[in-house]
A and B are shown apart, each in its own frame.
Chain A
């Protein structure tokens, strides 16, 4: 029955349409000796652009074919709990990797990057600060409570005076399962504002602009990753995780706007 559940979980992952095959390995397959090893990486949706860019280069270096799966970190963690065959888990917080580690599902997690939590609005928006969200009729889109971006949002809102918090929460129109859902609603004009990471705003090529929050309101956003227990490619997985702090993928993350590990 456990197997059936794992299948269900895997099916859900596929149904969510988050898988994207970034066939690393390098084009010149004839040159190398053995066939590239398949490495499955489950990563937070916010890292989609950065990791998609660096996975082929990593694959070439390590003779691996990197299969990337992006979704809300919480969904990915749930898949790993349901024994999805994943080698690396990279989350948009440290809480989920720590929880999986405590449950003996993940090796010791490493902190590999930081991100900035911002308010995102369309580039021609009149909203200038978080105070602009209190106006009735403003369509605000946030992450659902279980996904890291949603929990950072709730942490931030909790620091506001109750009246202001209430006014802002009354404008929430959707609780999205991952950060890309928020960005999509904003770029397509379906929403007026949303809380995302600055790297997501950078990835929209100017369609959105980021409004920074005061230091008092801004949550500490640290990304954690680890090797999934039971991975048959633990060595390669470890190499990928290490590469998130130093190497091609670290460079790609930096280029996308991620900060270095704390």
Chain B
């Protein structure tokens, strides 16, 4: 035990400030919505529609992100090629884009009068003001969260593991699926949690690109904004549900990581 000096006290103070700042607003949501409010707000048709839509669109978008993002991240983590730094920067760019910019960018690219709008239309796909558009918006803004984390997870894996599997005759594809992914799993899971959280909370790009229509494009954050003016209690209750779902995701990932950490490897 060290004697706590001024530096230790400063650290503790900063943590206390950060903790208060981050938890008081969330606590306020629950302090202002009784469990009865919560349940009655969920009983409203619009709320259930919004929750169901959010879960569906987030699930599809996460599935796409995992399927495409995992191999892409593996490539970026294990190969070196000219212009790699540029590619990584481009992939990460949506991380720092304001959501409104993402919405405009999607409209300009795949909206009806966007540069690829004609091709999308010709393919018979309807994106703007449609549920598919919500998935596109969620995927666009949240995939960099996963790819970034997945790259770090793959890069941290001991190369000798993969080499060992290769010397034992396994193909690279087999090594990737059977060795790398299991070992990098905690890192991949935390990347997925970040992407999931971002997708569930997406607001600006969805509103601009997909619009807001109950049951079709109005996700939970849009429903919360819609209620904010007319029914603040209902907006609070719906927010409480979103907090609970997000917290559950975070806890589930911590649990997965905790399990994997017993194997001797800790993410990050």
Contacts and interface: CB of A to CB of B under 8 A. Distances in A.
B28 A5 contact: yes
A141 B226 contact: no
Given A8-B25, A185-B129, A189-B112, A176 B229 contact: no
Nearest to B214: A175
A141 B228 contact: no
A120 B113 CA distance: 17
B212 interface: yes
B212 A177 contact: yes
Contacts, number: 92
A229 to B, nearest CB: 19
With a 10 A CB-CB cut-off, give which of A1, A7, A17, A144 has the most chain B CB atoms: A144
Given A1-B32, A5-B32, A7-B25, A144 B228 contact: no
A176 B214 CA distance: 11
A23 interface: no
A139 interface: yes
B28 A4 contact: yes
B207 interface: yes
A165 B123 CA distance: 32
A81 B218 CA distance: 25
| Interface SS majority for chain A | mixed
A184 B229 contact: no
A177 B107 CA distance: 18
Interface in B106-135: 107-108, 111-114, 117, 128-130
B111 A16 contact: no
Nearest to A7: B25
B114 to A, nearest CB: 8
Contact of B230 (A5, A8, A146): A146
A11 B25 CA distance: 10
B213 A8 contact: no
A176 B211 contact: yes
Contacts of B24: 4
B28 A8 contact: yes
Interface string A191-220: 100000000000000000000000000000
A82 B231 CA distance: 12
Interface string A1-13: 1001101100110
A1 B31 contact: yes
A185 B203 CA distance: 16
Interface stretch (A71-79, A242-250, A254-262): A71-79
Interface of B: 24-25, 28, 31-32, 98, 100, 104, 107-108, 111-114, 117, 128-130, 203-204, 207-214, 216-218, 225-226, 228-230, 232
26 contacts: A4-B24, A4-B25, A5-B32, A8-B28, A12-B225, A15-B203, A16-B225, A17-B98, A17-B100, A72-B229, A74-B229, A75-B225, A75-B229, A78-B228, A78-B232, A139-B129, A141-B129, A145-B230, A146-B226, A173-B216, A174-B129, A174-B212, A176-B212, A177-B212, A190-B111, A190-B129
Interface of A: 1, 4-5, 7-8, 11-12, 15-17, 72, 74-75, 77-78, 81-82, 139, 141, 144-147, 172-177, 181, 184-185, 188-191
Q: State the 3 A-B residue pairs at the shortest beta-carbon distance, nearest first.
A: A174-B211, A189-B113, A74-B229
